Amino acid sequence: MSQPQPGNTTINININHLNDVHNYIHNDINLINEFNNIYNNDNAINPINPINPINTNNEIYADSDKSKKKVSKRVCKKSASAGMMPAFSEYDAFMKSEYKVSELKDMCKHYGIKCSGTKQELKLRVHTHLIQSHHVKRIQRMIRGKFIKMHDRMSGPAYKYRSLCVNDTDFYSMERMSDIQRNQFISFKDDAGMVYGFDIMSLYTYYDSEMDNGRSAPLNPYNRAPFPLTLRRQMHRKIRLTNILGVSCKVEEEPEPVLSQQQRDEQLLFIVFQQINSHGHYADSAWFSELNVVGIMRFMRELADIWNYRAQIMPQLKQEICPPNGDPFRYVDLRYIQPDMIKHQGIQIINTFVTSGTNRDSQSLGAYYVLSALTLVSQPAQAAMPWLYESVVYVP
Which residues, including other chains, have CB under 8 Å from residue 378's CB and lie 6 or more apart?
287, 288, 290, 291, 295, 299
**Does residue 57 belong to any structural domain of this protein?**
no
Domain boundary among 154, 170, 188: 154
Residues 123 and 228 in one domain: no
Residues 45 and 82 in one domain: yes
Residues 306 and 336 in one domain: yes
**Does residue 119 belong to any structural domain of this protein?**
yes
**Does residue 285 belong to any structural domain of this protein?**
yes
Residues 233 and 279 in one domain: no
User: Tens of pLDDT along 242-270?
Assistant: 998 988 788 877 776 788 888 999 999 99
**Does residue 63 belong to any structural domain of this protein?**
no
**Does residue 251 belong to any structural domain of this protein?**
no
Greatest extent of the chain over all pairs of C-alpha atoms, in Å:
134
Residues 357 and 220 in one domain: no
Q: Which of 62, 59, 96 is nearest to 77 (CA)?
A: 96
Find the range with the poorest average confidence among 11-15, 140-144, 229-233: 11-15
Q: Are 328 and 365 in contact (CB under 8 A)?
A: no
Chain mean pLDDT for the chain: 80
What pLDDT shows up at residue 5? 45
User: Tens of pLDDT along 98-116?
Assistant: 888 988 998 999 889 998 8
Residues 125 and 87 in one domain: yes
Residues 107 and 214 in one domain: no
Residue 119's domain spans which residues?
8-51+70-154
Tally of residues, the chain? 396
Cross-strand partners of 187: 197
What is the helix, strand, coil percentage profile of the chain, to 5? 60, 5, 35
Q: How many domains does the chain have?
A: 3
User: Tens of pLDDT along 50-74?
Assistant: 333 333 334 444 444 444 444 443 3
**Does residue 253 belong to any structural domain of this protein?**
no
**Does residue 280 belong to any structural domain of this protein?**
yes
Domain boundary among 108, 131, 154: 154
